[in-house]
Structure 1
Amino acid sequence: MTSSLDPAFWSALPWTALAVVAVLAVTYGAAKVAGKHAVIDVAWGLLFCAVAVVAFVLSAGHGDDARRWVLLVLVLVWGLRLAVHIGRRSIGAGEDPRYEEFLRDRGELGIVAVVYGLQGALAWVISAPVQVGMFLDGPLGLLAYAGIAVWLVGLVFEAVGDAQLERYKALPKDRRPPVMDRGLWGWTRHPNYFGDACVWVGIFLVGADRWPGALTVFGPAIMVYLLAFGSGKKVLERRMAKRPAYRDYMARTSGFVPLPPRR
């Protein structure tokens, strides 16, 4: 960032990176035992939790305590909820078709680099607002409180959207509509991805009201891009669009930002 950051911040960076590596190592071992690399999806939220905990511990006595606690709680609540939700959903399931297609014909080294190394690097970079924010001085400002509100909107969208989809999938197939288009899913095809985006924009805003927190805007920008245009929405819809009912759903429902459904 800049020289205005406490030197302790720079000393903390190797430790937050080591925390990411540690979570990935455990995840890789769990994936080998489970026989599927989709285990990394459970670890995605935990990577951010590990970074937040290490940054919180190392920033003691350096950053504003209120901001440190807010960032820690926001990341832990989001990351742990996501890990538990994906973990419950994946019990008894086989390999994710996305990984089967993506990892076909790749050797073990390529799998480690692409699945684990890439996601670990992304989590470490995206978490920059947390790592920098932990070391920022000065009380929480209006922008930080706005960030908490945006984070809350995101968490509600993500949690409610996931719960609605779970109830839909629990219906008997003969009573289940061909596509989930009720509740939040009638306003956006991806309320969980939109919620994720809001969560990370909110976390960024908590630190952005103190310089140089605003320079970490690349973190939420990468997350939003991945969700809306990269490995999130784009990859999922490539598969789902093979179903006629889903193509009709796409024609009348916003792809990301919630909007009233079209006739």
Structure 2
Amino acid sequence: MTILEYLQALLAMALAMSVLMALAWMVQQRSGNSGWVDTIWTFSVGLVGAAGAIWPVGGAAPNARQWLVAVLVAIWAVRLGGHVAVRSRGISDDPRYAEFARQWGAAAPRRMFLFLQQQAWGSIPLVFAIFVAAHAPAAELRLQDYLGILVLFLGIAGEGLADAQLKAFRADPANKGKVCDVGLWRWSRHPNYFFEWVCWLSYPVIALSFDNPWGLASLLAPLFMYWILVHVTGIPPLEQQMLRSRGDSYRAYQARTSAFFPLPPRDGATA
């Protein structure tokens, strides 16, 4: 592929994400439930990523790797988007976005629109990594393509397990008001975020090779996702909300449990 073809695809994907997140803003404004924002974002990345994966090159039909990557991102989007949709349907608003709206005051609708457009353009490294992986130059599937599948399914399985453990913990009336500190949550305060990050490692695994200089661009996906989850819209606002609702019990949990990467609990951890 030529540089121009890469740039054309990049622009098309960026515009598509912008339009889809404008739709997310409309849904949020009409429903009053900002939880739908993350649902629409997930399906948008899946849709745009899959479309980019099968983007035709020189009029040729999509090859096996393009279809493989399209299927992988579709599986990721359906699993995560479905989970977030079920969660959003059961709440009146997402506390993270609700706190943003409270801080923004009367300017909340305009600020939310701009914030979601930032999310759209910030998603470009993700969809571009998918595009680069799908368009790796080798004609046949290689060992690293199968390793990429393994990494993605490891991430999906780990995230699904973490979500299931948290759901089961919250469903037990005896745990009301307590901090989930069982299973994967004993090793990481945010194992679902960690395994979501693992999913994005699959695309560099597929894309990186000596004959594909564009493959380096795929590294932007896990780097960007780590930054977002750990430093921006993931851990910081969620932990602020948990500190408000759980207080000292959550501070004790923070003291003994790794924030992101699963690690053995520090002294004082309980089962």
TM-score w.r.t. length of structure 1:
0.88
Contact persistence 1:51–1:131 (CA under 8 A): no
CA apart distance, 1:84: 0.9
Which of the residues 53, 57, 60 maps onto 1:56?
53
User: Which structure 2 segments of 5+ residues have no match?
Assistant: none
CA distance in 1, matches of 2:18, 2:44: 9
Give the C-alpha shift of residue 62 in structure 1: 5.2
Does structure 2 retain, via aligned residues, the 8 Å contact 1:52–1:72?
yes
Secondary structure of the residue aligned to 1:241 is helix
Which residue does the alignment assign to 2:69? 71
Q: Is 1:13 paired with 2:10? A: yes
Task: Measure, in 2, the Cα distance between the counterparts of 1:203 and 1:86.
Answer: 23
Identity of aligned residues (%): 31
Q: 1:258 aligns with which of 250, 259, 262?
A: 262
Runs of 4+ off more than 4 Å: 60-64
AA paired with 2:254?
M
Alignment of 1:42 onto 2:2: no
Structure 2: which amino acid aligns with 1:128? F
How many angstroms apart in 2 are the aligned matches of 1:181 and 1:171? Answer: 13
Post-superposition offset of 1:192: 0.6
* Contact kept in structure 2, 1:48 and 1:127, CA below 8 Å: yes
1:123 aligns with 123
Question: C-alpha separation between the residues in 2 aligned to 1:175 and 1:136?
Answer: 49
Letter in 1 for 2:188: T
**C-alpha contact 1:200 1:220 (8 A) present in aligned 2:** yes
Count the aligned residue pairs. 258
Match of 1:218 in 2: 220
Which residue of structure 1 aligns with residue 202 of structure 2? 202
Cα RMSD between the aligned structures?
A: 2.3
Code of the residue aligned with 1:66 in structure 2: it is A
Of Structure 1 and Structure 2, the greater helix share is in 2
Letter of the structure 2 residue corresponding to residue 171 of structure 1:
D
> What does residue 102 of structure 1 align with?
100
Q: TM-score, normalised by structure 2?
A: 0.85
Identify if the C-alpha distance between structure 1 residues 107 and 162 changes in structure 2 by more than 3 Å, giving closer, same or farther.
closer
For each residue in 1:121-179, what CA deviation from the matched residue of structure 2 results, as whole angstroms up to 9, or x when unmatched? 1112322211222332203434333332222221111111011111111122x454711
